[in-house]
Amino acid sequence: MKSAVPLFSLGLLVLATAIALACAENRTLQSIAVSPATADANGNPVQFTATGTYNAPPVKVTPQPATWGACYQNASTTDVTVTSSGLAQCAAGASGAYIVFAYDFVGQVCPASTNACGGGGGCQVTGTAQLTCP
């Protein structure tokens, strides 16, 4: 008599794969945290890191793929540049507290003017930190 264990095991594997794929399709970015939350440039570049929190495993993703930028008093600025990996640098003569942001779209179509300074409505998830330039 043949054992049903191999057939049962195969069935479980197929079921587990189907459930994993179904969950992955419904995975949604809930929030982005940028760290450090505050930093003082002191004339040096500062490395920021984005961590995404999702509604399904893996729940935390570091680094979270994101678009990076900076604002000053709710407007885009060139006083602070941020690379695609989150390395922020104050321009010569920049002084004050700037907002460094990381955002990612959540599957909706956003207006062309979308950024974290002007807001993106419900089409993006944004995390921010503060960078002080000397």
Give pLDDT tens digits for 33-80: 999 999 999 999 999 999 999 999 999 999 999 999 999 998 999 999
Supply the range of the domain harboring residue 112.
Answer: 28-133
Q: Please give the Cα distance from 122 to 126 (Å, whole number).
A: 10
Q: Is residue 11 part of a domain?
A: no
Closest CA to 88 of 103, 102, 104: 102
Please answer whether residues 14 and 42 qualify as being in contact, where contact means their C-beta atoms are separated by less than 8 angstroms.
no
- Kindly report which listed range (25-29, 103-107, 121-125) carries the lowest average pLDDT score: 121-125
Number of domains in the chain: 1
Q: Is residue 54 part of a domain?
A: yes
pLDDT tens string 11-41:
433 333 333 434 446 889 999 999 999 999 9
- Structure-model confidence comparison of residues 91 and 109, the more confident one: 91
Q: Is residue 103 part of a domain?
A: yes
Q: Is residue 6 part of a domain?
A: no
Q: Give the domain CATH number at 90.
A: 2.60.40.10
Please answer whether residues 50 and 86 qualify as being in contact, where contact means their C-beta atoms are separated by less than 8 angstroms.
yes
